Amino acid sequence: MSERADKILDVSSLEISFSTHEGEIHAVRDVSFSVNRGEVLAIVGESGSGKSVTAQALMGLTPIPPGIVKGGKVLLDGVDILASDEKALTKIRGAKVSMIFQDPMTSLNPSMRIGAQIREILHQHNTMSRAESYARALELLHLVGIPEPERRMRQYPHQFSGGMRQRIVIAIAVANNPELLLADEPTTALDVTIQSQIFRLIRDIQAKFSTAMVLITHDLGLVAGVADRIIVMYGGRIVEEGPTDQIYYDPQHPYTVGLLNSVPRLADDSDAPLRTIEGLPPVLKDIPDGCVFAERCPNVMKICRQREPGIYHPRPGNRAACWLHHPDAREPYETFLKGRSV
Amino acid sequence: MTDAAEPIPPELFVPDPGQPVQSLSTAEPQEFWADVWRRFRGNRAAMASLSVLILLALLAIFAPILSHYSIAQTDLFNTYKRPSFVHFFGTDGLGRDVWTQVWMGARISLTVGLTAALIQMLIGVVIGCISGLYGGRVDMFLMRTVDIMIAIPFLIWVSLVVIVLKPGIVSIILAFALTQWTEIARLVRGEVLKLQNTEFVIASQSMGAGSWRLIVRHFFPNILPVVIVAVTFQITNAIFGEAFLSYIGLGIQEPLTSWGKLVAAGVREMRGNPYMLIFPAIAISLTMLALQLIGDGLRDATDPKLRQ
Amino acid sequence: MLRYIIRRLIIAVTAMFVLATITFFLLRLVPGDPFAGPRITEVIKARLRAHYGLDQPLIDQYFIYMKHLAMGDFGYSLAKQGHSVNEIIREAFPYSLDLGLRALVFAVIMGLFFGIVSALNRGRALDSLTVILVLVGISVPSFVLGGILQYYFAVKWPILPVARYESFAHTIMPAFALSLATMANVARYMRASMLEIMTADYVKMAKAKGLNRRQIVLRHQLRNALFPVLTIMGPVVAMVLTGSFVIETIFAVPGLGRHFVLSMQNLDYTMVMGLTIFFGAFLIAMNFLIDVLYGLVDPRIRLS
């Protein structure tokens, strides 16, 4: 099952920085992961964790000044994205890999009819007649649940609500049956009532076409029903990765525990204060020695402030970058396990 | 995969609660104006312009005082002399020292520009505030008036007022001040409306803050940046307008002089004595340019979208 | 859309009305009797008195004045005795229109060109060239520029005619001098608009669709960058119009701008008022047309 042919995406040692007038910001540091065909991987983290930068890099969309790719490989179906030239990338983007952007209010061209915006991506990667693209666009609108598609095709984005616009964005993203779909916080900018609708749509489409998907979000509660595996990012690094069930029921990193605890649940006492992780995410300008989460970690040990943790495999299919899994940390680890209020 | 080569002493694997976590931002709260200044400083064009402007102002103040010549002093033996160490900018048709004239003219042009712009600012801010705060019919009336006033190009307005009030330095200043406050009023009204809806205003109102206190403490700091940028551009307009009016003879009258008058004379003398045009032309162009770049720089420095 | 047009129309008509009223009262504010200049003969005075109803109470004068205007009668000139303002407008307007159009078209096309090109080539030669052009355009007053051009291209090196407006060669310098300030402003604005759009989300989306740079610029950036520029077309037309006062004077172009300047210098009050109203009405009408055009082009307004 671990043949290379099964991996649609293989990221190794990705390192991306941004040069600003305040100095170099190390946004992504030594990130490696892979995604199999048809699999759904969720990347979860706070703002500033590096998840969006990683997602952009997967399509070669990192803005090169001020961004600098300092190292690593991104193999999309065997093709190294970071080493390809623009010409090659324009053939891949929109066809083999597609992105669903975060804010539907700004990701559609306000002066272009939505039908044209859908047909644009069709004509870009297929030879079809205008009649064929018209028909296909109608099909796609129907697929994402836009009523009266013939009439709506000729309308402009401002004539649609936020939820409907995001459906159009999804239609565009899946138009050419990509093998990999990147969804960058696809529901964050929407009304709470619409969020679950759109989310379900994405999930259904993914299941229907068995598209591999990388779902970026800050909301760990959201991905339970759809992700096969979850990656937790913090401070530009992956701190934990594992199958969904394991992450939810048996998390192996204090940050993951913090994230899980901070999701308010209906069963919680409504008078109790919301649980948060104390402190703020780091700025990543001057990388501290030691674990980047040490400052906010409730299970921090002396070693954590001095050296970066290695990567351990405390459970099958899981990796966690935490000193708690070192053989010499048995007591603190027990404390950690007891402290998880899962 | 476990960690690197060196073995780690087991004593390090003990809990280390240590430093309390700072829950709030560790960045020092930068004072707004300090931040603006910092950003402005980083804009090379704007800083260069500021230096140029300061230099011009200093010359306007001190050059005529330090000069051997007065502007009325004629010397019929030395007419139309080229620039030299005796007369830095040469002399005109009556033997008057052009250097002195340019800097005296600077005083007038700059004063007109500054005064007109400041009065406009006062009028504009007051009207903008009234319009924004009172709303309703008052607002509609004032804004329609502004719409109509804007429909007429500023040079025409200014010319009309000057004709009626008889040309002179006061009428020019009044002409500008009374007719060009519209842009500032609009901007101020826009900011006031934006601020009215912010939660902190509603919160302070509910805590009983009177409207005057509200205006002074909350509105001014937020309105000021926008107003300052607009005023900078109005100074440019005023200087240009004064130059234009003086050029066609309806501006500054004898015995005063201004850059506009000097340029008018210079254009006439261009054939034989180009220096008479060049120096005032450079002076006025530099000033306009510097003001524009400073205005741009201020706008970028106070733009909330660009703040970190 | 219809409501939008009607609103604009009402504002336009009101503006014209108010403008006429203001000019009427301003004329009355001039100290002394504007009609009592030494050059004005009795015959002319009698005609003026009859035309303007100067013997009648102020309010009646006002209505007479407005009635004349409504019929398109702008009164009589004090300086050019015997000539009506209408006559002078009829003779001079075509020159101003010709010069103004040449300058406007040149300024807008070149301004857009430089703005687009400099945004797409940030930091390179074309960008620097544009920056220099803009700096010169916004700082050198038009009368200075006109004077300098005249000196170099007509006197020092006699390539072009120095003044008057009789052939194509005559139009080159005035049109260029008139267009420079406007060109600079259009370029500046367009450049800023393009740069702002470059970071827009839908541009990122277009890239994610696999479009190449040319396609992104042409299909997504240009159209949206042009919209905001349309909003400054009103001030642009006004700029060309006021610029014409100076340029026509320097180059002795027998247009309305020159007449306006002359009538101000001669204290020909009726002429000044008449021309003010004409210019004002012209600008108001232009602004109205531009507003309508904007409404047609922006789908958000067109379809509401």
How many other CB atoms are there within 10 angstroms of residue C128's CB atom? 12
Using a CB-CB cut-off of 8 Å, the residues of chain A touching B13 are 301-303, 323, 326, 328-329, 331-332
Using a CB-CB cut-off of 8 Å, the residues of chain B touching A295 are 19, 21
Average pLDDT over residues B198-223: 64
Q: What backbone torsions phi and psi does residue A104 show, to the nearest 5 degrees?
A: -70, -15
Of C200, C227, C299, the CB nearest to A156: C299
The three-state secondary structure class of A98 is strand
pLDDT of residue B203: 65
Task: Report the alpha-carbon distance of residue B73 to residue C282 in Å, rounded.
Answer: 47
Put the strands of the sheet holding A7-20 in their side by side order. A23-36, A7-20, A67-76, A79-80
Task: Report the alpha-carbon distance of residue A76 to residue A37 in Å, rounded.
Answer: 11
| Cα distance from N-terminal residue to C-terminal residue, chain A | 32
pLDDT of residue C8: 82
Average pLDDT over residues B37-45: 83
Residue of B nearest to C157 (CA): B271
Using a CB-CB cut-off of 8 Å, the residues of chain B touching C148 are 270, 277, 281
The burial class, CB within 10 Å (0-12 / 13-18 / 19+), for C26 is middle
pLDDT at B5 over 70: no
Cβ A286 vs Cβ A209: under 8 Å: no
Do A107 and C299 make contact, defined as CB atoms within 8 angstroms? no
Query: Looking at per-residue confidence, does A111 or C52 come out higher?
Result: A111
Do B163 and C238 make contact, defined as CB atoms within 8 angstroms? no
How many interface pairs between A and C have CB atoms less than 8 angstroms apart?
74
d(CA C123, nearest CA chain A) in Å: 13
Average pLDDT over residues A57-61: 91
| Per-residue confidence band for C151, with pLDDT thresholds at 50, 70 and 90 | confident
Question: Which of A326, A333, A336 has the most B C-beta neighbours within 10 Å, making it the best mutation to test the interface with B?
Answer: A326
Whole-model pTM: value is 0.81
Asked if the bond preceding B255 is cis, omega within 30° of 0, the reply is yes
Write the CA distances from B269 to A193, A278, B245, B264, C149, integer angstroms: 76, 76, 19, 9, 14
pLDDT at C286 over 80: yes
pLDDT of residue B29: 41
Of A300, A310, A312, the CB nearest to B16: A300
Using a CB-CB cut-off of 8 Å, the residues of chain B touching A280 are 23, 25-26
A43: nearest Cα among A180, A241, A203, A224: A241
Average pLDDT over residues C179-193: 90
Do C141 and B288 make contact, defined as CB atoms within 8 angstroms? yes
Of C201, C220, C299, the CB nearest to A106: C201
Tell me the residue length of chain B. Answer: 308
Task: Report the alpha-carbon distance of residue B18 to residue B16 in Å, rounded.
Answer: 5
How do residues C200-259 score in pLDDT, each as one tens digit? 899 999 999 999 989 998 889 988 888 888 888 888 888 888 888 888 988 888 888 888
pLDDT at A180 over 60: yes
Write the CA distances from B62 to A160, A322, B99, C265, integer angstroms: 65, 71, 12, 34
d(CA A310, nearest CA chain B) in Å: 5
How many other CB atoms are there within 10 angstroms of residue B22's CB atom? 11
Match 């008195």 to its residue by tokens: C49
pLDDT of residue C227: 84
| Per-residue confidence band for C114, with pLDDT thresholds at 50, 70 and 90 | very high
Q: Contacts by A261-270 with C-beta closer than 8 Å and gap 24+?
A: A261/A341, A263/A219, A263/A220, A263/A221
pLDDT of residue B200: 60
Task: Report the alpha-carbon distance of residue A217 to residue A253 in Å, rounded.
Answer: 18
Do B151 and C267 make contact, defined as CB atoms within 8 angstroms? no
Match 């495999």 to its residue by tokens: A313
Extract the tokens encoding C302.
């067109």
Query: Looking at per-residue confidence, does B237 or A269 come out higher?
Result: B237
Q: Is A250 on the interface with C (CB under 8 A)?
A: no
Extract the tokens encoding C281.
């009405």
Average pLDDT over residues A162-183: 94
| Per-residue confidence band for B3, with pLDDT thresholds at 50, 70 and 90 | very low
Put the strands of the sheet holding A40-44 in their side by side order. A97-100, A180-184, A212-217, A40-44, A229-234, A237-243, A319-320
Share of chain B above pLDDT 70, in %: 82
Query: Looking at per-residue confidence, does B291 or C46 come out higher?
Result: B291
pLDDT at B25 over 50: no
Q: Is C37 on the interface with B (CB under 8 A)?
A: no
Segments in B135-181 forming alpha helices (H)? 136-150, 154-165, 169-179
pLDDT at B26 over 50: no
- Partners of residue A34 on adjacent β-strands: A10
Cβ B38 vs Cβ B279: under 8 Å: no
How do residues C80-105 score in pLDDT, each as one tens digit? 666 788 888 888 899 999 999 999 99
| Cα distance from N-terminal residue to C-terminal residue, chain B | 40
Of C202, C206, C210, the CB nearest to A91: C210
The answer to whether the complex's ipTM is over 0.90 is: no
Do C212 and A112 make contact, defined as CB atoms within 8 angstroms? no
Do B8 and A329 make contact, defined as CB atoms within 8 angstroms? no
